[in-house]
Amino acid sequence: MTRFIDKDTRVLVQGITGSQGAFHTHLMREYGTKVVAGTVPGRGGQTIEGLPVYDTVVEAEESHGVDASIIFVPAPYALDAALESVEAGLDPVVIITEGMPVRDSIELMARARLSGTTIVGPNTPGLIKAGECKMGIMPAQVFKKGEVGVISRSGTLFYEVAAHITRVGLGQSTCVGLGGDPVVGLDYVDVLRWFEEDPETEAVALIGEIGGDAEERAAAFIGDGGFTKPVAAYVAGRAAVPGKRMGHAGAIIQGSMGTAESKMNALRDAGVAVGEFPRQVAESLKELL
């Protein structure tokens, strides 16, 4: 079983001197994440937040034994940054960057497949192992260590559901933001496979949105017996207008494909408890556990 992240994961921040990079490095460390170094080409030798900055990933890796990378660099440089970490053997590589061209994502995913590297994102809030390690930009206060694995394409909606899970007295194991772009490293099925094996995850909250067919495929996987723990889901976008883009590249309905109804029905047919409102995901899980 591939490890995502835990309290021992040694994290590199690419783009650490930018405002987002620096800000979130501070918050990640506050949460307990072992951030050990950062990189920015041309800034090697500097320090930020008390951490050493290197020009290249290989140098950071050799000096500190880095495991994983989180990327905050601007979109035009995101492919380079991610390839550099993949080549250096870091895993997972989490890409927070928004606006990465889809051609670049395709190239990156093909390269990552060759080495078996897990890419999270792009355009993701990241991932968090509650109480141990946060590799992302999510607000820490809504999470509490517990038994529910969370998978989401969206960011704030993911925090909303996580907050409800905490409010009903449950907590989270690992939470994965898949990312809102058309081409991302992980899909629901990849993470469900992982949660099936993860002894700390007893149930899953699946948060979807309109566009694409990732939720339908997750439903098929669950329906075919690929995932055996309880699942509760919420799908956003019932009020969306076909053809209108709702922010995310992913959140657009084309024709009848990828509507909220089609996703909700597919999940229901697979035995998933589908809520009308985000809060009901947490309430269903409370009953199921």
Partner 1 sequence: MKLLEYEAKEHFRRHGIPTPQGRMITTPREARDYTAELGKPVVIKAQLPVGGRGKAGGVRFADTPEEAAEVADALLGMRIKGLTVEKLYVEEKLSIVNEIYLGVTVDRRNKAYVVLASSEGGMDIEEVAAKTPERIVRHLVDPVHGLRGYHGNLVAKRLGYGGRKMLQFAAFVESLYELALEMDAELTEINPLAEVEDGFTAADARLNVDNNALFRHGELEERLLESYQSELTEREMKARSKGLTYVELDGNIGIIGNGAGLTMATLDTVMLHGGRAANFLDLGGGATPERIGEAAKFVLGDERARALLVNVLGGITRCDHIAEGVVAARREVAVEKPIVVRMMGTNEEEGRKILKEAGVETLGSMEEAAELAVKLAEAS
Please identify every residue annotated as catalytic.
248
Residue 271 interacts with partner 1 (CB under 8 A): yes or no: no
Say whether residue 281 binds partner 1 (CB under 8 A): no
Say whether residue 226 binds partner 1 (CB under 8 A): no
Asked if 109 is part of the footprint of partner 1 (rule: CB under 8 A), the reply reads yes
- Rule CB under 8 A: choose which of 34, 39, 234, 282 binds partner 1: 234
CB of residue 36 vs partner 1: minimum separation in angstroms?
24
- Identified binder of partner 1 from the candidate list 160, 198, 202, 215, rule CB under 8 A: 160
Nearer to partner 1, 104 or 198 (CB): 104
Residue 1 near partner 1 by CB under 8 A = no
Determine how many CB atoms are found less than 10 A away from the CB of residue 81.
24
With binding defined as CB under 8 A, does residue 214 bind partner 1?
A: yes
- Residue 237 has phi, psi (to 5 degrees) of 115, 20
Least Å distance between CB 110 and partner 1? 4
Contacts 24+ apart (CB under 8 A), 105-111: 105/79, 105/181, 105/182, 105/183, 105/184, 106/183, 107/79, 108/79, 108/82, 108/83, 108/185, 109/183, 109/185, 111/83, 111/86
Kindly state the smallest distance separating residue 125's Cβ from partner 1, in Å: 8
Looking at 102, 242, 261, 269, which residue binds partner 1 (CB under 8 A)? 102
Q: Which residues bind partner 1 (CB under 8 A)?
A: 23, 75-76, 99-107, 109-110, 114, 137-139, 141-142, 152-160, 163, 180, 182-183, 187, 207, 209-210, 212-214, 217, 234, 236-241, 244-249, 251, 254-255, 257, 260, 276-279
